[in-house]
Amino acid sequence: MMFPETRLRRLRYNSVLRDMVTETKLSVDDLVMPLFVCAGTNVRNPISSMPGNFQLSVENLVEECKDVVASGVKAVLLFGIPAEKDEDGTVACQHNGIVQQAIRAIKAELPNLYIIADVCNCEYTTHGHCGTIIDGDVDNDTTLETLAAQSVSLAESGADMIAPSDMMDGRVGRIREALDENKFEKIPIMAYSAKYASGFYGPFREAAESAPKFGNRATYQMNPANSDEAMREVELDIAEGADIVMVKPALSFLDIIYRVKTEFKMPTAAYNVSGEFSMLKAAAEKDWIDGPRVMMEILTSIKRAGADIIITYSAVDAAKILNGIKG
């Protein structure tokens, strides 16, 4: 039937009915809050390009996690800023590494908070690249060994999930092998499978102090123009043992999220990255947009595209809206 028998507005006149026929419903269960932990005590350094986010020393991170839990968010993703860096990132593999300390401290007070540990070397190397530099570029296979050691160390500290973000070839398989060899076969891997060489990472690099000192990351992160290549990356990660695959960034790559979910039917995460967050905050600050409304619209679009898990700096704010918490 056509108009006038069919009138699609009939489903829109009443708010109760609109809620009944809503196709995509965002849930607090979808959200993961990224946090930055740094060396020192009583540190709460505001991240200027990411309003409301901070570099936190371990004790302040624990307090921040309590606020996360109070909002209803059940999972955090941890990034570390160490006191000292080295050439190959082995500082990230130490028993008393900054993220390892943070995991133990959080678990001591919030044992049910789900902790996802990012695995990469960019925050830990003096040059800011994601692995060991040989002949002017990141050496893939040498870097795999550091990533595997870092993953085992984080699992030993109590991480619930390992999330390699480096984009080295073969890293999921090597990490899975190392975890299993060390009796961590129950620890899942969430792979940053389709991670693009994006301009949206700028505020994060301030937050994590991880900007490369030379060149860029185009030899290991993906070309933003490519879609089929992302499917190959995802397929390889699944074959190597990834339990969850991720697309990063999210907002400019909704088509990639849709393709990944449609083609592979795998648990799919999307990272609503720092630049996306900061653009929203800047526009809202100037009263150009309704910040909370646009935030929820963005997150809903990411879920509508196919994401099961949304990593976002808006997690706590969105959870408060979803749970009807004021303030």
Q: How far is CA 49 from CA 54, 89, 153, 208, 275, in A?
A: 10, 26, 31, 12, 9
DSSP string covering 276-313: HHHHHHHHHHTTSS-HHHHHHHHHHHHHHHT-SEEEET
Tokens standing for residue 255: 């088509």
- Ligand-binding site membership of 177 (annotated): no
Q: Which helix (H) or strand (E) holds 97?
A: none
Buried b (16+ CB within 10 A) or exposed e, 230-241: bbebbbbbbebb
- Ligand-binding site membership of 120 (annotated): yes
- Catalytic: 74? no
- Ligand-binding site membership of 233 (annotated): yes
Residue 225 makes CB contacts below 8 A (sequence gap 6+) with none
Given 85, 195, 261, 303, the catalytic residue: 195
- Ligand-binding site membership of 7 (annotated): no
- Catalytic: 195? yes
Contact of 190 with 269, CB cutoff 8 Å: yes
Class of residue 98 by CB neighbours under 10 A (exposed 0-12, middle 13-18, buried 19+)? buried
Closest CA to 105 of 163, 56, 45: 56
Residues belonging to the chain: 327
Cα separation, 29 vs 44, in Å, equals: 27
Contact of 140 with 168, CB cutoff 8 Å: yes
Given 66, 74, 186, 248, the catalytic residue: 248
DSSP bridge pairs for 248: 195
Count other Cβ atoms within 10 Å, centred on residue 107. 17
- Ligand-binding site membership of 271 (annotated): no
Cα separation, 130 vs 137, in Å, equals: 10
Tokens standing for residue 327: 């303030």
- Ligand-binding site membership of 252 (annotated): no
Cα separation, 131 vs 89, in Å, equals: 7
Residues annotated as binding site?
120, 122, 130, 205, 217, 233, 274, 313
Residues annotated as binding site for 5-aminolevulinate?
205, 217, 274, 313
Residues serving a catalytic function are 195, 248
Residues annotated as binding site for Zn(2+)?
120, 122, 130
Residues annotated as binding site for Mg(2+)?
233
